[in-house]
Amino acid sequence: MIFEDLNVKPELVKGLKEIGVKEPTEIQKKTIPLIKEGKDVIGISKTGSGKTIAFGIPILEKIEHGRGVQFLIIAPVRELAVQISNELKKFGKYIKFSAATVYGGVAINPQIEAIARADIIVSTPGRLLDHLENFDLKLDKIKCVVLDEADKMVEMGFIEDIRRILNETPNNRQVLLFGATISNEVDELKQDYMHNPETAQAESHVDEEYLEQYYYDVKQFEKFSLLVHLLKKEKKDLCIIFCSARSTVEMVTRNLRDNGIKCDMIHGKLTQNRRLRAIENFHKGNPTILVASAVAARGIDVKDVSHIFNYDLSPDAQEYVHRVGRTARAGKTGKAITLLSERDHDVFREILSRFPVKVEQLPLEDFERLKFNAGIRGSFRGGGRFGGRGSGRPGGRFGGRDDSRGYQGHRPRYGGRSSDSSSSYGGRNDSDRPRSGFQGRPRTSEHKPRSYGGRSSSGYGRSK
C-alpha cells in the first residue's frame, strides 16, 4: 500500500517522499482513514511507528489557514512537542499552515505572538493552561484535539490539566489518543470526552526480529566499570545510556568524561536551550553517546540509535518499553542492554510479567574495575552527599557500604518530588511535572534477589 491508496493529498505525499517516507506503517494504515472520517480514535503502537504522521496527515488536510487555532496537539514533554512541530513542518512543507510550539521555561511573549497567527498549537499541558488562564487564549474553534503519549501524561499527573483544557474546547470536537501503551486510567478521559471511539492497534512493542535484549547481573558498585567495558567493546553507532534520576545522569556523564569517553547528557533540570542543543548535536553524531533521564525516553526521535544501555531501571516498569523503543527503528536492528543490580530486580520482574519481552542473560566477562567519583563538581549542579569540594548543591542520596570503595555505590532517590522535574516561569512546572513520588518497595534482610522459585540463577531465565 502507498499513501495515494489512503487518498492522501498530493502535496503531503510529495512532502513525505522528500523525507524518505514512501509507504504507510501499520498504525498509519489503520488510523488515517478513521481520522479522515471524523471519528474519535485511540491509536496504540510502539514507539517510532509513525504516530505523528498518522494524526498529522488528516490534520494538515483539514486546515483552513488564517481562521484561528483549529487543532490542538498536547504532548507530555517539551522535546516531544518540538519534535512533533518539526515533523509537521517537514512533511507539510507544501501545505499552507502555521504552528505554534508552546512549552514552559522560555519567554512567553513570542508564544503569544505565534498563537495569534497559528492554525495548530503543539503544547505541553502546563504552559497551555498558563495561556488559557492568564493570556486570554480561546479554544472555541478547535476541530480536533490530539493527546500524544496520553498514558504518560496521566502517569505524570496531568489528567486534571487535560480535563480543564478539554473543557475549553467545543463538545463536537474530535479527540485522538495516541501512545505505545494505553492504561485503564485513560478510560476516564475516553468515557468523558470521546464519542464512540474506534481503537486501532498495531504492534505495541519493538519487533524481536530487529531488537536484541540482554541483561547483565552485576553488583551495584561494578556497574560503571562494566558500562565502560561494554561501550568500548560493542560496535555501535549512536547510543543512549538511560538513568532513572538526574543525579545519576550527572554522575555517569562526569565519570565517562573522566575516563576519556566523549558524551553529552540530557535531563529535566537543564535549560531548554541546552537540552535542545544536546539533542541536535546527538542527531549529528557529535557526540555519539547521550546519557539521559526518563524525560528523554519520550522526547528523542533519532533514527540511527544502535544501542540502548539501561544503567538502572525506572520504578515505572512501562518506562522500559519506551527506553528500548529508541532503537531498532524503521527496519534497522538494535540492541538493548540492561545492567541489573539487586535494587533493580523487583521492577525487572514486573517488566517480564507485564510485557511480552524476551531478555537474555549474558555472563559477566572480565573487565577492569574503575574508580567512580560520586561527587559532582565543575559545571554540574547537584552532587553526592559526601562533603568535599563539590561546587553544586547536594543532590542524590548515595547510601550503601560500597561508597567507601570509591566505586559507584550510589542510589537514586525516588520519594517526594521527582529529581527530573523542570520548572517554567512563575512557579508552574511545565512539561515535566511529575506525580508525587514513588516510594519503592520495602527492603528486608531476607531479600534474596537471585532466587526466584527454581528458575535460573538470575531468576529471569528468558532466553532467546
* Max avg pLDDT among 215-224, 401-410, 445-454: 215-224
> Is pLDDT of 208 > 70?
no
CATH numeric code, 3-201: 3.40.50.300
Starting at the edge strand found earlier in the chain, the sheet holding 71-74 runs 99-102, 120-123, 71-74, 144-148, 174-179, 41-44, 198-201
Maximum CA extent, the chain? 66
What CA–CA distance (Å, rounded) separates 184 from 431? Answer: 22
Count of alpha carbons within 13 angstroms of residue 392, beta-carbon side: 19
Here the cell at position 377 is 563538581
432 contacts 422 by C-beta, under 8 angstroms: yes
What CA–CA distance (Å, rounded) separates 129 from 121? Answer: 13
> Is pLDDT of 150 > 60?
yes
What is the per-residue pLDDT across 9-57, written as a single tens digit (0 to 9) for each?
Answer: 999 999 999 999 999 999 999 999 999 999 999 998 877 778 999 999 9
What is the per-residue pLDDT across 151-192, written as a single tens digit (0 to 9) for each?
Answer: 888 877 888 999 999 999 999 999 999 987 776 667 788 889
What is the per-residue pLDDT across 373-407, written as a single tens digit (0 to 9) for each?
Answer: 987 554 444 333 333 333 333 333 333 333 323 33
* Max avg pLDDT among 49-53, 205-209, 294-298, 385-389: 49-53
What CA–CA distance (Å, rounded) separates 124 from 156? Answer: 12
> Is pLDDT of 78 > 50?
yes
Domain 3-201 shares a fold with domain 211-427: yes
Does a cis peptide bond (omega within 30 degrees of 0) precede residue 363? no
**Tell me, what's the pLDDT at 297?**
58
Q: Which residue type is seen at 297? A: A
What CA–CA distance (Å, rounded) separates 123 from 75? Answer: 6
What is the per-residue pLDDT across 318-327, written as a single tens digit (0 to 9) for each?
Answer: 889 888 888 8
What is the per-residue pLDDT across 422-432, written as a single tens digit (0 to 9) for each?
Answer: 333 333 444 34
**Tell me, what's the pLDDT at 411?**
40
Here the cell at position 52 is 505523528
Sign of CA dihedral 13, 18, 21, 23: positive
316 contacts 155 by C-beta, under 8 angstroms: yes
> Is pLDDT of 97 > 70?
yes
What are residue 256's phi and psi, to 5 degrees?
Answer: -60, -45
Count of alpha carbons within 13 angstroms of residue 112, beta-carbon side: 11
DSSP state of 94: T
Here the cell at position 365 is 566477562
| Alpha-carbon Rg for the chain in angstroms | 22
> Is pLDDT of 209 > 80?
no
The mean pLDDT of 265-287, rounded to a whole number, is 86
376 contacts 382 by C-beta, under 8 angstroms: yes
**Tell me, what's the pLDDT at 295?**
67
What CA–CA distance (Å, rounded) separates 88 from 55? Answer: 10
- What is the domain partition of the chain in residue ranges? 3-201, 211-427
Task: Using a cut of 0.75, tell me whether the model's pTM lies above it.
Answer: no
How far apart, in Å, do the first and last CA atoms of the chain sit?
32
The mean pLDDT of 209-226, rounded to a whole number, is 94
The average confidence (pLDDT) of the chain is: 81
Of 2-6, 38-42, 103-107, give the lowest mean pLDDT range: 103-107
- The three-state secondary structure class of 415 is coil
Which class is domain 211-427?
alpha beta
